[in-house]
Amino acid sequence: MASSTTRATATVAGPPARERRLAGPLAARLLGLLAAGALLALVMVASVAVGAKAIPPGEVLHALVHGRDSVDSTVVLDLRLPRTLLAVAVGAALGLAGVLMQALTRNPLADPGLLGVNMGASAAVVAAIALWRSTDPTFFVWFAFLGAGAAAALVHLLASRGRGGPGPVRLALAGTAVSAVLGALISVVTLLRPDVFDQFRFWGVGSVAGLPLSLLGDVLPFLTAGALLSLCLAGPLNALALGDDTARSLGTRVRRTRVLGMLAVTLLCGAATAAVGPIAFIGLAVPHLARTVTGPDHRWLLPYAMVLGAVLLLCSDILGRVVARPGEVQAGIVTAFAGAPVFIALVRRRRIAEL
């Protein structure tokens, strides 16, 4: 009778203490993700409004509602809106790819380019320019994406030779070797063909400026597929972080997880690089920024990385427009200059916390 009364009292009093403790972090992470989404919305508005010519938010809204009926509305719809949407999609993809690479290799300094994806895309673009001499960005996309996929497949093939399959160390070594070879080939072609170098340098610096909105339609299916695949791998990645043996004991198929993870990285990073060129730092630093809020749980880390990656690339693009008015600095250059000191500070703080 007493035990029944105790259970009834506990039921009336509310959920157990452990559930209440778990509900606190869950609510905090959800609120943080909503706040990050609100920040992304504000940065998107700033991206459309800020440039060589400042456009008031009211004019931006008028252009979005009524279409092209003035010079400002034409600038908004034809120039700034496409680059804003491209920056959001590419930044989110690079943030996700960075989380996947660091999880698959268990290396906190891993970058999406470690699989040779960036170099594969760059080598394919150089080959396309040398053979067909095209300057159309939509023409580059398919060659860059095929080159990224071929490089990732070669890295996986090299890392799979021998016992144990494609482990973290083998993936890193194979990716470094393939990237070095492809980088040498790019240097040879661009040195022997100045006309190829003149065209390649604009794509190779990494920029979202001057690209048509149709380009986003070309790469969006690949980005969407990569994002959905990444989110589906959140649980297996949590198990993989405990080590291969522990992951197997928990029922995770380690080899399949790594293969699917590499496929997701190829889709995300390959399509992003094909669209805007190689963008450094975002895939390296965004996972660390997200972990300060989410911890190591990939169920939260992946969505946070998507939003923060988009915010970081948009902010870099806006900063590049402001610091060199009436010209601009490409987003890829800004991410390298502005991001490196931030990443060094994060690494130093982590080292101090571990002492």
- Angstrom distance (rounded) from CA 294 to CA 280: 23
Instruction: List C-alpha distances in Å: 189 to 128, 143, 144, 185, 203.
Output: 11, 16, 16, 6, 15
- Mean pLDDT along residues 8-32: 57
Highest mean pLDDT range out of 124-138, 152-166, 200-214, 215-229?
215-229
Span 266-314, pLDDT tens digits: 889 888 888 888 888 888 889 988 988 888 889 999 999 999 999 999 9
**What pLDDT score was predicted for residue 44?**
92
**What pLDDT score was predicted for residue 26?**
78
The CATH homologous superfamily for domain 36-354 is ABC transporter involved in vitamin B12 uptake, BtuC (1.10.3470.10)
**What pLDDT score was predicted for residue 253?**
86
Query: Is 354 a residue whose pLDDT tops 50?
Result: no
SS (H, E, C) 76-106: HHHHHHHHHHHHHHHHHHHHHHHHHHHHHHC
Q: How many CB atoms lie within 10 A of CB 200?
A: 22
Q: What is the pTM of this model?
A: 0.84
> Please, is 21 exposed, middle or buried when counting C-beta atoms within 10 Å of its C-beta (0-12, 13-18, 19+)?
exposed
